């Protein structure tokens, strides 16, 4: 069990009108942490293209504890908090820390691996499973497709006439 940490230097463009890290920046930092994690573990775009798979996020949620300001250094952690038996569904927990260890925020991101040609959920290659297993949290949850039905939002199509 390991935690991966990615370091960010907070830029002026990362700050919102309240002079702290903007909501969209938290999303960007989590996304970049995931891609850096994959790259560090030799699962970059070249490998993903070769395998014909890609990670897709289905749901993210955040809790904020302490403000982060411009010119601060932030470390964003990544660990696998839940995974399906075949690895096709996964959940990452990201924790945001200042260099002194202050915990500023937590994000939870649920995703699936998809077959890039079929655009359907798929089992990832063994190389990916090995890395995911290495970064499982101590209290890993085993999930299934039924877990996805517990996510808080469902599609609700409307009559397109409303837009005219």
Tokens of 6: 């990615």
Q: Does 146 reside within a domain?
A: no
Q: Does 87 reside within a domain?
A: yes
Q: Which of 27, 24, 109, 104 is nearest to 68 (CA)?
A: 104
pLDDT higher than 90, residue 96: yes
Mean pLDDT within 45-54: 96
Q: Does 158 reside within a domain?
A: no
pLDDT for the residue 45: 94
Tokens of 132: 């995911």
Mean pLDDT within 25-37: 98
Query: Cβ(83)–Cβ(37) under 8 Å?
Result: no
Residues 6+ apart with CB under 8 A from 14: 21, 22, 25, 28, 70
pLDDT higher than 90, residue 36: yes
Q: What's the CATH number where 93 sits?
A: 3.10.129.10
Q: Which of 82, 95, 102, 113 is nearest to 30 (CA)?
A: 95
pLDDT higher than 90, residue 120: yes
Residue 142 banded pLDDT, cuts 50, 70, 90: very high
Indicate the burial class of 136 (C-beta count within 10 angstroms; 0-12, 13-18, 19 or more): middle
Q: Does 102 reside within a domain?
A: yes
Segments forming the whole domain that contains residue 117: 4-139
Percent of the chain scored above 90 by pLDDT?
A: 98
Residue 147 banded pLDDT, cuts 50, 70, 90: very high
Rounded to an integer, what distance in angstroms lies between the CA atom of residue 58 and that of residue 142?
A: 17
Q: Which of 124, 137, 111 is nearest to 43 (CA)?
A: 124
Q: Does 159 reside within a domain?
A: no
Residue 73 banded pLDDT, cuts 50, 70, 90: very high
Query: Cβ(55)–Cβ(113) under 8 Å?
Result: yes
The number of folded domains in the chain is 1
Q: Does 17 reside within a domain?
A: yes
What is this structure's pTM?
0.93
pLDDT higher than 90, residue 1: no
pLDDT for the residue 93: 98
Q: Does 46 reside within a domain?
A: yes
Mean pLDDT within 41-56: 96
pLDDT for the residue 12: 96
Q: Does 145 reside within a domain?
A: no
């Amino acid at each position: 069990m390991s935690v991966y940490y990615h370091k960010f230097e907070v830029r002026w463009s990362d700050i919102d009108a309240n002079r702290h890290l903007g909501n969209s920046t938290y999303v960007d930092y989590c996304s970049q942490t995931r891609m850096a994690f994959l790259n560090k573990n030799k699962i970059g775009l070249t490998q993903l293209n070769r395998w014909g798979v890609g990670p897709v996020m289905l749901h993210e949620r955040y809790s904020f504890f302490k403000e982060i300001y411009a010119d601060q250094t932030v470390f964003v952690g990544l660990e696998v908090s839940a995974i399906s038996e075949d690895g096709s569904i996964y959940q990452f927990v990201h924790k945001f820390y200042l260099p002194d260890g202050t915990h500023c925020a937590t994000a939870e991101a649920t995703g699936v691996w998809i077959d890039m040609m079929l655009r359907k959920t798929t089992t990832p290659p063994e190389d990916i499973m090995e890395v995911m297993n290495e970064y499982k949290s101590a209290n890993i949850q085993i999930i299934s497709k039924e877990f996805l039905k517990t996510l808080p939002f469902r599609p609700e199509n409307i009559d397109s006439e409303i837009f005219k």
